Amino acid sequence: MTDFSFYSRCCKQFWVIYFYAFLLSTQSLLANDINIALHGLENTHYHRLTSTIADQTYHIFIRLPEGFSADEKYPAVYLLDGGITFPILGGYYKYLELAKEIPATIIVGISYGTSDWQKGNNRSRDFTAKSDERSYWGGAGNFQKVFSEEIFPLVENNYGADPARRIIFGQSLGGQFVLFTAQTAPDLFWGHIASNPALHRNLDFFLNTVPDDAGS
């Protein structure tokens, strides 16, 4: 007597295997045929910068403008906390670019690759002036050297960024670095944008420091 239950189980197993094989092949097809890139961040180049000055690895994201030409010079906006600010402002730049409300600009994000200080985020060191309340603050002067000797050569030698039109953006402690640089090395950047700068632990430094005459 034929055992139809055996054939039934075999058929069910076959169709289950076939179904999952179909799903896997479909997902592979979609992944290959559909462009899932974030077009707002198109033309972005990545560099891993190992700084000998700061003994730190920085992740550098460089977004080039539409129609970029190696024969041209472009202003460059440098974004601190680039792991967070670069996707936001680099993407928003696309709107301004489409509306032709901004000149062709290079957007540069500088990131630690993490938000966790235990994993290498040293913004509290790099972005700050000295503070009696925080022994690990006070590395802003050294971070300026990272820009002048390591980041600027990378961006300007490879992508035609204009040394005369550097702009720095920072928020919170990043804003502190922007103001620190505007006061102590004003010629390092042409433009300074400090968003909600955190100055509560070393306000006296900023109130009592006279800006460098070179930038006055």
108-122, pLDDT tens digit by residue?
A: 999 999 998 878 889
Average pLDDT over residues 178-198: 96
pLDDT of amino acid 35: 55
Which of the residue ranges 13-27, 146-160, 168-182 would you say has the lowest mean pLDDT? 13-27
Average pLDDT over residues 170-194: 97
* pLDDT, tens digit (0-9, with 9 covering 90-100), for 15-48: 555 555 545 555 544 445 555 567 778 889 999 9
CA distance 139 to 123: 9
Under CATH, domain 39-215 is a member of which superfamily? Alpha/Beta hydrolase fold, catalytic domain (3.40.50.1820)
Q: Give the residue extent of every domain in the chain.
A: 1-35, 39-215
pLDDT band, residue 198 (cuts 50/70/90): very high
* Residue that has been written with the tokens 């000149």 in this structure: 103
CA distance 154 to 161: 10
Q: What is the pTM of this model?
A: 0.80
Mean pLDDT on 91-117: 91
Two structure tokens written together for 175: 């804003």
Dist CA 90 CA 44 (whole Å): 9
The answer to whether 90 touches 108, Cβ cutoff 8 Å, is: no
Rounded to an integer, the average pLDDT of 98-115 is 93
CA torsion sign for 62, 64, 65, 69 is: positive
The beta-strand segments (E) located in the chain are 44-51, 56-63, 74-79, 106-111, 161-171, 191-195
